[in-house]
Chains A and B, each alone.
Chain A
Amino acid sequence: MNQEIISRQELSRWLESLLPGYTVIAPVHREDRDVFAVIGSTGEVAWDAGRTANPAKEFFFPASETIVRWRTGPAGLQVEAPLATRPQVLFGARPCDGMALDVLDRLLLADPADPYYKARRDATTVVGWACGGEHPGGGPFEGCFCETVGGGPADRRFLDVLLTRHGDDYAIDAVTEKGRQLLSGAKTEPRDLPAVTPAHAADDIVGAVLRDRPQPVLQMPPPTEWRAQFDAAFWTELAQRCLGCRTCTYDCPVCYCFDVRDRALPDGTIERLRCWDSCQGMQCFAIAGGHNPRPTQAARQRQRYMHKFLYYPEREGVALCVGCGRCVVDCPVNIDIREVIAAIAAGATAAERVPA
């Protein structure tokens, strides 16, 4: 049986044909990095892009969003809830970017669903790129560790279409019905690729990445082990160098904390905004009266990892982490989530417990 493939040229042409009907988000090259951005033409697509500097989160859950705005005018009170969605295609998502959506779906689509996230999620078709391969931008990337949290470089489960680069062509795996429909206008052709079985083309093409990894894959300790290490002195040591900035959480594809506040605009309009918040900010947990239940950076650092590897797995069944490695490379003081996982796995700090 032959594998369905599409040439770069045809893929680009197909993407161009989607532009009138869809908001297309794709990796583009900006300054010295690759980022996900809304494109106006396929000429902007960075075909050799590596992992994007920003996760795709902002296209489902924007950094700032107006939930409702109101003003009083001659016609009385005018209220407007400006949620408007347009069909969108997320192109060039990595398997971990797809997995991030699944991780968020478990919380944000559960009853009661978050209407803002849901509207954009429903309107989106995700076309992914498998990681690995010889081409530039193939990956794996510095700091990434998706296998540790149950993903993989050719993980098709959370994508609508998985494309695997093979020379200048792409092997197509239309995973979902939504993906198949989106692809209906694409000019593909069957081709016999040696050593590639159509049922798992991506695995055959990039699977070597997994097999050839030099070091053993980092093992995730079970939630119980995280709980056992709650009072370890390790957290205080780790937090010493933490600056308390928000980079790790804003660059995380699954950190979803937000704050809701009103603001008055100069023209008299009042807006209710929902904006990203971060557990690493000093004031994140402060409550009325000035009490802060997590007053130290050690407590806030611990919260970040406990949320990811203890609380979320207990509630939602998966880690709140997809192993993309963005926080690893972006942290100005090189706090490395892989080292945290390894430290808990090793239980090395068990002897150094400090009282709560």
Chain B
Amino acid sequence: MIENFEPRIVGFLCNWCSYAGADLAGTSRLSYPPNIRIVRVPCSGRVDPLFVMRALRDGADGVLVLGCHPGDCHYSDGNYHARRRFAIMHELLSFVGYEPERVRVDWVSASEGARFARVVNEFTEAVRSLGPVRRLGAQSATAPAQAAALRPAAARAGETPGPGQTGQLPELAAKLLAEGQVDVVLGWEKGSVRERPLFASTAEQAARLIVPEDPSASLNLATYLHHLHGKKAALVVKPADARAVNVLIKEGQLKREDVVLIGLGGEGGRGPLPASAYDFVLGEPPVLSDASVTAPLLDEMESWPVAQRAAFWDAQFNKCERCYACRQACPMCYCAECLSEQLNPAWQSIAIEAPEQAFFHVMRAFHMAGRCTGCNACSNACPEGIPLYLLNQKVAREVARFFGPDGLKGTGYQAGLSADVALPFTVFTKDELAGGHS
């Protein structure tokens, strides 16, 4: 611990309860450390985890988010949403190398001046004992020479679809086009240096369609659905891609009848999805497997000390040039303006340097919560080979730990198993995640 270290603490306080609680602490002459700088917000539900990430990046040693007790929200449910978001964000921050004790979410009512003083005291001392925050990405570490080990497990296993499928695809595509069922078939063709997406709108083009050699190493063609301008498309998909389409339908980005799904046999991404989820299935029906998130490296990293994870990600983020291939390849990244490039407010600098890359990747991973279906398109698109899938799988794992298959209280949520299931950040259960999350 650095001697005379005075931590800088940013507090986001809900206007109705916690800010009034702080006021009461003051008028009651209760003392609490002056390290906290208070930002008054209308509701803890207004506190985007982006604010917390930015405070940490800009040198806050700790961030305290205080709201009304669950059940007492003046907007009825803002704090329930905040509680869900921060349950996930907290785990993500710890995974990328921030000590979990640097962020605390708690509840303080307007009558709890004493509680406010106690929370601030406890938190300040906890952060003081941690020492100054480290700047994520600031350590210019070199990545370990184990690139192969960083790839998603499925890609290493080299899963390939069942035999005898390649012949069927051009025929099926030509038929769909000829019958006017679709305007375009999005699939794959042989390229000059790698397989590449093909937009087949004629029988001649359809004849070039192939089944990718290793679907788990491919991109996700659903990312192109945002640019079709009303054209009806058939899409060659692995299970994770079809699930991504389900999420997009749930998010109102397209209708099921606008897209024809041609499922690849084999697993080719983490399942499961019944054959009925596709309009056509090539070869053997997709394998229905245990849907648990398997990532040996992720298991290992969870057992590492936080500083080791920080060093790991520093090395990875130092490789990043923010070319945005990950974001562009992701079907879930369809915002018209990404927070990373937004000008007003400018959340990020244009600087191509590791702390900015870290900020971008952490926020992108958070935005994948309950949405990422594990297609690995981001990792597969990254020209630097950064294992971004680990961030997404970590988030998916935490989502499954906190939320049930229907999106409510429980465990085992998986994104995109159907287009009817609620997105976890749009719903809540009152008696979940009890006791705040800190």
Contacts and interface: CB of A to CB of B under 8 A. Distances in A.
Is B one of A's binding partners?
yes
Interface of A: 29-33, 63-64, 142-143, 237, 240-241, 243-247, 250-251, 259, 261, 263, 266, 273, 275-278, 281-283, 297, 328-330, 332-336, 338-339
Given A241-B199, A333-B219, A339 B325 contact: no
A266 B191 CA distance: 48
B193 A334 contact: yes
Contacts of A251: 383
B35 to A, nearest CB: 15
Contacts of B380: 332
B196 A247 contact: no
B91 interface: no
Nearest to A54: B321
A263 B193 contact: no
B101 to A, nearest CB: 21
Interface stretch (B11-19, B277-285, B348-356): B348-356
26 contacts: A30-B142, A31-B385, A63-B352, A64-B350, A64-B353, A240-B224, A240-B227, A241-B197, A243-B325, A243-B328, A243-B329, A243-B381, A244-B324, A244-B328, A245-B325, A245-B327, A246-B321, A263-B351, A273-B349, A281-B324, A328-B192, A332-B219, A333-B219, A335-B196, A336-B191, A339-B192
Contact of A334 (B144, B196, B350): B196
B383 A261 contact: no
B159 interface: no
Given A247-B323, A330-B383, A336-B191, A241 B196 contact: yes
B157 interface: no
B194 interface: yes
Given A32-B147, A245-B329, A247-B325, A336 B197 contact: no
B324 A246 contact: yes
A143 B191 CA distance: 12
A243 B145 contact: no
B352 A281 contact: no
A243 B223 contact: yes
A91 B341 CA distance: 36
Contacts of B351: 64, 263, 273, 275
Interface magnitude class on chain B: 35 or more
B152 to A, nearest CB: 15
A85 B73 CA distance: 58
Contacts, number: 108
A29 B322 CA distance: 22
B195 interface: yes
Contacts of A31: 143-147, 385
Contacts of B329: 243, 245, 332
10 closest A-B pairs by CB: A334-B191, A334-B196, A245-B325, A243-B328, A63-B352, A31-B147, A332-B381, A246-B323, A32-B147, A263-B349
Contact of A266 (B59, B143, B144, B219): B59
Contacts of B2: none
B192 A334 contact: yes
B328 A245 contact: yes
Given A31-B144, A339-B192, 9 more contacts: A30-B145, A63-B353, A64-B350, A240-B227, A245-B329, A246-B324, A250-B323, A333-B196, A334-B196
Interface in B189-224: 191-199, 219, 223-224
Main secondary structure of the interface of B (DSSP, over half): loop
Contact of B321 (A241, A244, A250): A250
Interface in B98-145: 142-145
Given A63-B352, A334-B193, A336-B191, A247 B341 contact: no
Contacts of B227: 240, 297
B434 interface: no
Nearest to B329: A243
Contacts of B353: 63-64
Contacts of B381: 243, 245, 332
Interface string B331-342: 000000100010
Contacts of B193: 142-143, 328-329, 334, 336
Interface string B378-408: 0011010100000000000000000000000
A333 B381 CA distance: 8
A30 B143 contact: yes
A333 B220 CA distance: 11
B11 to A, nearest CB: 17
Most buried by A among B148, B322, B329, B383: B383
B382 to A, nearest CB: 8
A335 to B, nearest CB: 8
Nearest to A259: B350
B220 to A, nearest CB: 11
Contacts of A29: 145
A238 to B, nearest CB: 11
Nearest to B350: A275
A214 B380 CA distance: 32
Contacts of B195: 334
B302 interface: no
A15 B363 CA distance: 44
Contacts of A33: 147
B232 to A, nearest CB: 15
Nearest to B8: A266
A33 B323 CA distance: 18
Interface in B365-382: 380-381
Contacts of B349: 261, 263, 273
B197 A333 contact: yes
